[in-house]
Structure 1
Amino acid sequence: MATENLRSKQEIPKSSAVVPELFYKVDIVVIGAGQAGLSAAYHLKREGIKPGKGFVVLDDEFGPGGAWQHRWDSLTLSNVNGINDLPGLGFAEAVNTNDKELQANIAIPKYYALYEKTFELPVIRPIEVTEVIDRNGRFLIRTNGVQFNARGIINATGTWKTPNCPKYPGWEKFKGRQLHTGEYKNASEFIGKHVIIVGGGISAVQLLGEISKVTETTWVTRIPPDFRHYEFSPEHGREAVAMVEDRVREGLPPKSVVSVTGLPITPAIEDMLNNGTLDRKPMFQEITENGVRWEDGTEMDADVIFWNTGFRHSLDHLAGLHLMNDKGGIVMTGELVTQVAADPRIHLTGYGPSSSTIGANRAGRAAAKELINYLKLK
């Protein structure tokens, strides 16, 4: 593989727990090899930063694909939302896009693998970044293997590894199964069970539609769903991104795009509205041994509580840098709002307005160029 060849050429140490104090010095460390991380790596190399000596990409997965390799089986090319070409190599060059039943968790990892090989990107895996420390004007990147020392960081860890699962009173009493979106594979595992689906985003609606075809479901949301009669357009997307951008420039926690755009009524959602699948109930107050209970005392038995309540940004390894403010956000700046205002040596891609797949591409490019300029690497 290209990464193995590059390790040999550049003498990059392999991930290994037996040499925990070996520090490998580079200019830039990219953390994460999803869409934003690969885009950043491509642009770093294109700008003349040498793979291995100038930058490396650290990924905690066992293979290419980022979070896509963990998506549910029913997410196919016919219903997936947001596959965008990485810079320099189109998705159609890696997979047969005419096969609409091809699973996204197979197709996209195949694409990412070809991308890494084609551009000989210095991806090291599996290696988990556990902590980043600022010391003497450089960053010490501690991992479960080789340690790294860098002048700048592009963090592209996304959100998939940190599910947001609100633990309502009685959580530990429930005798049934609780799971989050990130653990879902297919609806067949719920046949014959009553599933309470929690969440008002697009994933909750899609999976509700899928699961309701094979078993009994109840839909619960904290606030009423915001269905809108419009066809989502690039203009709507830009408007939503601008609103999220304003928040992170002010240091406020970023909101999800759907909180701005609402849920456009597609033909599939229209059918679900008509057949009663989207008969939503308000959020319950507590969880019981056998189900849930609402504030008025109404109870409902359930076998499964399925939390589609989103994810939070995977930034715990940066906690020692004290980037977060008392509002729970990080003040961001830069052309595409990837640069941490308090420390321009750090870029966060996939945070705030760059959390979409198309936003991640552009953010990778902006982060690479701005960090190169700031560090005066050219």
Structure 2
Amino acid sequence: MHTQVVIVGGSQSGLAAGYHLRRLGVDFVILDAQSTPGGAWQHTWDSLHLFSPAAYSSLPGRIMPPHTGQEYPDAQHVVDYLNDYEKRYELPVERPVRVLGVHRDGHFLRVEADAGTWRARAVISATGTWWRPFLPAVPGRSDFGGRQLHTVEYRSPQDFAGLHVIVVGGGNSGAQIAADLAYDTELTWVTQRPPRFLADDIDGRALFDASTARRRALDAGRTDTGGVASLGDIVAVPPVRAARDRGLLTASPMFTRLVPGGVEWADGARAKADAVIWCTGFRPALSHLAPLRLRGRRGQIATLGTRAVDEPRLHLLGYGDWTGPASATLIGVGRPAREAAREIAALLGTPQ
């Protein structure tokens, strides 16, 4: 099959790219491994809410409608929005299609998938990070006798009611899941450093502005503003704020190893655990790009904006600040998606 552009991934980044390519008159297809619209938002924990109001969590061209009765929309509202967005703009999504590899093929990039092969003049990789959870190499993990799971597998506190649970991680996922579990479990929350809560009035709007300001300063050769990291690590969304204010989110330092019945610190102190939940982040899901051999020593693909430096027919979208300020967020992906679409249109010689 032939097309001008293949977009790998049908969640927010892929849809934003499709929106801009459609406006530029570029022929494309979106290949999505999921069987239904919504990407990773379909697989989050039950209580997850966005950091920002609906109007500040929108993709290009379509404001997210308010979520009745809630300032911050939940994950199902996002799924519904993405489903509507895909239909509204008649974006050509084929699913479920799992891309196995992207290869150079003369003037084309050949995209091999379980549902067939596509040849394209350009490829946008928009697979995100949810599908590649990171687990740290902590001594004793194989000795622990309880349940271990990552953020991607957590759903509800009811699954752990009455149990001793250790939540590992000082970011937003760790804080939100710890707050979720604080009322019905014997909770121990551990972090690498003391948790840094952002001011209660800061939400995703301010974070997007901070990230954008940092990128503009760096691009202009000015002093690094520090971006989001200068403000803190944890957005105090209402459930986190409530648990924190009740004294239920007191963090302990990171333990040194797991033991059969729990965890142990350097001083010999131990805590019982029936389950350990690793809220330890993600890595970009880029295995489909391995045939192109683009990764550097640190495993990252060098980019100029969203374009791969060593393969100008490839753009990477939605993996975080290295492919555009706040590009892993709903509101942040619009601008780099537009830039990627314009570069590809220029490559193809499409009038803009």
Compute the RMSD of aligned alpha carbons. 2.7
> Is contact 2:50–2:72 with CA below 8 Å preserved after alignment?
no
Q: 3-state SS of the aligned residue for 1:27?
A: strand
Alpha-carbon distance change, 102 to 357 in structure 1, aligned in 2, over 3 angstroms = closer
2: CA distance, partners of 1:38 / 1:270: 33
Matched, 1:238 2:203: no
1:363 maps to 336
Residue 243 of structure 1 and its aligned partner are, at CA, apart by 4.5
- The amino acid across from 1:126 in the alignment is P
Alpha-carbon distance change, 264 to 109 in structure 1, aligned in 2, over 3 angstroms = closer
> Is contact 1:36–1:363 with CA below 8 Å preserved after alignment?
no
Residue 275 of structure 1 and its aligned partner are, at CA, apart by 3.2
Q: 2:183 aligns with which of 213, 216, 220?
A: 213
1:8 maps to none
Alpha-carbon distance change, 102 to 219 in structure 1, aligned in 2, over 3 angstroms = closer
1:319 maps to 290
1:41 maps to 18
Q: 3-state SS of the aligned residue for 2:277?
A: strand
Report how many aligned residue pairs link the two structures.
336
> Is contact 2:258–2:264 with CA below 8 Å preserved after alignment?
yes
1:346 maps to 314
Alpha-carbon distance change, 188 to 103 in structure 1, aligned in 2, over 3 angstroms = farther
Listed one character per residue, the Cα deviations across residues 75-114 of structure 1 (whole Å, up to 9, x for unaligned) are: 2xxx42245222233322xxx6224399734322222222
Stretches of structure 2 that go unaligned for 5 or more consecutive residues are 220-225, 322-326
Matched, 1:304 2:275: yes
2: CA distance, partners of 1:110 / 1:267: 23
2: CA distance, partners of 1:223 / 1:297: 19
> Percent identity between the aligned chains?
39
Q: 3-state SS of the aligned residue for 1:89?
A: coil
Listed one character per residue, the Cα deviations across residues 34-63 of structure 1 (whole Å, up to 9, x for unaligned) are: 1111011111111112xxxx2100000010
Once the two structures are superposed, the pairs formed by residues 111-260 of structure 1 within 5 Å of their partners are: 111-229=81-199, 231-232=201-202, 234=205, 236-241=207-212, 243=214, 259-260=229-230
Alpha-carbon distance change, 265 to 122 in structure 1, aligned in 2, over 3 angstroms = closer
Once the two structures are superposed, the pairs formed by residues 265-276 of structure 1 within 5 Å of their partners are: 269-276=240-247
Identify which range, 288-297 or 121-130, moves more after superposition. Answer: 288-297
1: CA distance, partners of 2:183 / 2:208: 31
Once the two structures are superposed, the pairs formed by residues 100-115 of structure 1 within 5 Å of their partners are: 100=70, 104-115=74-85
> Is contact 1:240–1:261 with CA below 8 Å preserved after alignment?
no
1: CA distance, partners of 2:163 / 2:300: 39
Q: 3-state SS of the aligned residue for 1:355?
A: coil
The two structures have a TM-score, normalised by structure 2, of: 0.87
2:222 maps to none
Alpha-carbon distance change, 55 to 144 in structure 1, aligned in 2, over 3 angstroms = same
1: CA distance, partners of 2:207 / 2:60: 24
- The amino acid across from 1:48 in the alignment is G
- The amino acid across from 1:70 in the alignment is H
Alpha-carbon distance change, 351 to 197 in structure 1, aligned in 2, over 3 angstroms = same
- The amino acid across from 2:335 in the alignment is R
Residue 150 of structure 1 and its aligned partner are, at CA, apart by 1.0
Q: 3-state SS of the aligned residue for 1:26?
A: strand
- The amino acid across from 2:328 in the alignment is S
